[in-house]
Amino acid sequence: METTKIIQEIKELRQRIREHNYSYYVLDAPKISDAEYDRMLQRLLHLERENPELITPDSPTQRVGGAVAAGFSRVAHARPLLSLANVFSIGELVAFHDRARKLLETENLEYVVELKIDGLAISLVYEDGQLVRGVTRGDGFFGEDVTSNVRTIRSIPLTLAGQGGSSPRLLDVRGEVYMPRPEFERLNRERAQRGEPAFANPRNAAAGSLRQLDPAMTAQRALDIFVYGIGEPQAGMATHMDSLDYLQSLGFKVNPHRRLFHTIQDVVDYCSLWEEKRRELPYDIDGLVIKVNDLRSQQELGSTAKDPRWAAAYKFPAEQAITVLEDIFTGVGRTGVLTPTAILQPVRLAGSTVSRATLHNEDFIAEKDIRIGDTVIIHKAGEIIPEVIAVIPARRTGRERPFVMPEHCPACGGPVVRREGEAAHKCVNPDCPALLREKLIHFASREAMNIEGLGPAIVTNLLEAGLVNDAADFYRLRMEDLVKIERMGEKSATKLLAAVEASKQAGLDKVLFALGIRYVGAKAAGNLAKQLRTMEAVSQADMETLTGIDEIGEKIAESVMAYFAEPENLALIDGLRNSGVVMEAAELPLAAEATLSGKTFVLTGGMETMTRQEATAAIERAGGRVTSSVSKNTDYVVAGSDPGSKLTKANSLGVQVLNEDQFLELMGLK
């Protein structure tokens, strides 16, 4: 490539990266995906390595992060808070190991591997055991003083626990502030209700929350932290693992999944393990951090101007991708709500090919100015349908078309309305075939009546054959009816009839959830069943009775009362009852009720006799509660197959561990 062309490309890359740094770090409004940003930066790094004479001090490759935002004072880090060099493949990770091995002239290297928390880097400065300052990374040398906001994060100690009653005179702790996924979802729901734009991801939400000018706003958001290092190691420390143990002894929250390995192959295996397991966590990680354990070796390896040579960040494959939105399809759900879905140009994302993404509703499309033909960024969090999180207006050609919600139901042609104060468009035809199909699929689903083998395809076949008109008809099916259905042999029909029969004993909570009462999720259904005990009592409950039940507010209460005021709903319930479906809450053994009331459980690993959701429901029916993490306040950890680190933590804290048989015995189910 000609020198002039190289100079021009470098210039353009630097400018684009600076613009995106400003959008991301200062405005908290990213315009491109992480993957595309990484590709730009890697291209710039490559060009500068090939042409070192073109490197300038102001190049983004010579910086650590973004700029200090207006509204916060500028504070210098006592020791630079450097970012880490990224590696994107096992080959690059092994190359990092080989460089460290050669520089240290040794074949024996220990590595500490930690989860790479997807949040906001922070420096916490303590003097004589007291928190005096919290500073964001900023550009690595100067950051933003966010002390008032940091003090609102409950997992950050304001006073150090100390060892033997003493605390270090000065301690600079480095960590990652993050937003747990449940809090992120709650925050976005509230923002949607207020008509505010949703945060793109938990990291974006954490950054926006920590950098609020009003600490009261930060306090309203359940931010958390994991600390991962010390700016200046303390006397007597020989290894990085020593420093993590020391921080934990002082009362800091250190991630429990840190591991010490003696070979690079073990490091590679651990990275591969977490590529599969990361969605089990209640917070986001985007990779793992690999650090040379020996502190003297770290000093010998040193750092470049922007990152240490003794550490690397192994990045997972991107969970964001860029593609073209080719069309928008509108489907009809079980409550009649019309949901627009993006039809995408197929693209690889998080290990699978994606061709569809949710668009939620008309307001979501208008807020993001999504048009048919747009180039969009899609995001996948967990095992769910991806979501369009942003449009790239710069790639528009002028041929893009705005989307308009249909005035008539695409399934039945009936009228579509949008009620005042609601975001949803709904088909108001009670006989809409799409509504009935989705209601029946929900009724039979695993979380509801759990009728194994009665999936969407079979439900559609039953409807087309005229064998079902409501959920009660499932219990009237006969062998001679089923064998007439395409691809339904006698063996499959026998299994389906057995599953239908077994579902009669699912219990009142499952039936209430299966009915699809608006706003009544699995937990609300469980609370209604636990308190009122019978379908008759639920159907006759008034506002005062319903709102007196845990987590049942006026909105849910009104929906429940409205459901049971409809004659066709009462007729369905009578049909289910006459078919033998149990309409009462199961009576738990008195011993189980007495044992579990107020107790806290953590479930880890797989169970043979029930799903995790079923075990959770059983515990909650008995008055207990289930949490996601083990602490000293946990009463029981139920360990199934492949239990993971929660079992290790339970043993270290002395928490009682139950195997599956012991759990069933405690519950009175054995």
Tell me which residues are annotated as active site.
116
Q: How far apart are alpha carbons 629 and 641 in whole angstroms?
A: 17
Q: How far apart are alpha carbons 93 and 103 in whole angstroms?
A: 16
Tokens of 375: 């180039």
Reference 32, options 46, 47, 17; nearest CA is: 17
Tokens of 564: 């049971």
Tokens of 342: 């993006």
Supply φ then ψ for residue 162, to 5 degrees.
Answer: 75, 165
Alpha carbons within 13 angstroms on the beta-carbon side of residue 580 total 9
Residue 200 in contact with residue 30, Cβ under 8 Å?
Answer: yes
Q: How far apart are alpha carbons 491 and 470 in whole angstroms?
A: 25
Supply φ then ψ for residue 223, to 5 degrees.
Answer: -70, 155
Taking each continuous run of H as one helix and of E as one strand, the counts in the chain are: 25, 24
Tokens of 48: 């500068």
DSSP 538-602: HHH--HHHHHTSTT--HHHHHHHHHHTT-HHHHHHHHHHHHTT---BPPPPPHHHHHHHTT-EEE
DSSP helix/strand/coil, 517: coil
DSSP helix/strand/coil, 275: helix
Q: How far apart are alpha carbons 359 and 630 in whole angstroms?
A: 36
- Burial pattern 479-511, b for ≥16 Cβ within 10 A else e, equals eebbeebeebeeeebeebbebbeebeebbbbbb
Q: How far apart are alpha carbons 556 and 548 in whole angstroms?
A: 12
Q: What angle do CA 534, 536, 539 make, to 5 degrees?
A: 115
Name the packing angle between helices 456-464 and 433-444 (round to 10°). 130
Tokens of 309: 């040579």
Residue 342 in contact with residue 358, Cβ under 8 Å?
Answer: yes
